[in-house]
């Protein structure tokens, strides 16, 4: 299934096998990634730039799908959002709403849970957030 993750099962290790408490079973490796002798085959390492380009392409594709579907999008920040970051979001998601609660840490929803609930409710009902809730523009 696309997007699903397979977690390999582990078996307990004996004390003589090291300090870790689990090890992968040889049979946990899919046949397509095992050599003729049965040992795992490692994929060659890719350059970081190639990995990042792939991640950026996936991100942009996901944002395009969200924009095309018209899915409401809310970005809650604890610090003012710079012009470049604001442009990045609004260019890709015209329906996005950027909300700043200047609380000085990464958890504005924990500082003001009632206000956060009102924000989520407004999003679910398709309403834009009132300026009194939105904070800094």
What is the rounded average pLDDT for all residues in the chain?
75
Q: What is the average per-residue pLDDT within 19-37?
A: 54
Residue 123: band (very low, low, confident or very high) from pLDDT cuts 50, 70, 90: confident
pTM above 0.85, yes or no: no
* 98: pLDDT strictly greater than 50: yes
Q: Which residue has the higher pLDDT, 8 or 61?
A: 61
Give the Å distances, CA to CA, from 105 to 22, 34, 36, 111: 37, 46, 53, 9
Judge whether 25 and 8 are in contact, CB under 8 Å.
Answer: yes
pLDDT digits (tens, 9 = 90+) for 55-94: 889 999 999 999 999 888 888 888 888 999 999 999 999 9
Question: Parallel, antiparallel, or unpaired: how do β-strands 10-12 and 22-24 relate?
Answer: antiparallel
Q: Is the pLDDT score of 10 beyond 70?
A: no
């Amino acid at each position: 299934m696309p997007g699903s993750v397979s977690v390999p099962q582990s078996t307990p290790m004996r004390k003589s096998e090291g300090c870790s408490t689990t090890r992968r079973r040889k049979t946990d490796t899919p046949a397509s990634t095992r050599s003729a002798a049965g040992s795992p085959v490692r994929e060659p390492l890719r350059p970081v730039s190639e990995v990042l380009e792939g991640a950026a392409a996936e991100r942009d594709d996901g944002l395009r799908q969200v924009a095309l579907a018209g899915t409401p999008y809310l970005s809650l920040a604890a610090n003012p959002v710079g012009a470049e970051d604001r442009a990045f979001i609004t260019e890709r998601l015209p329906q996005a709403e950027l909300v700043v609660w200047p609380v000085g840490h990464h958890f504005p929803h924990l500082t003001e849970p009632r206000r956060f609930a009102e924000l989520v409710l407004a999003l679910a009902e398709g309403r834009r957030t009132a300026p009194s809730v939105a904070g800094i523009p």
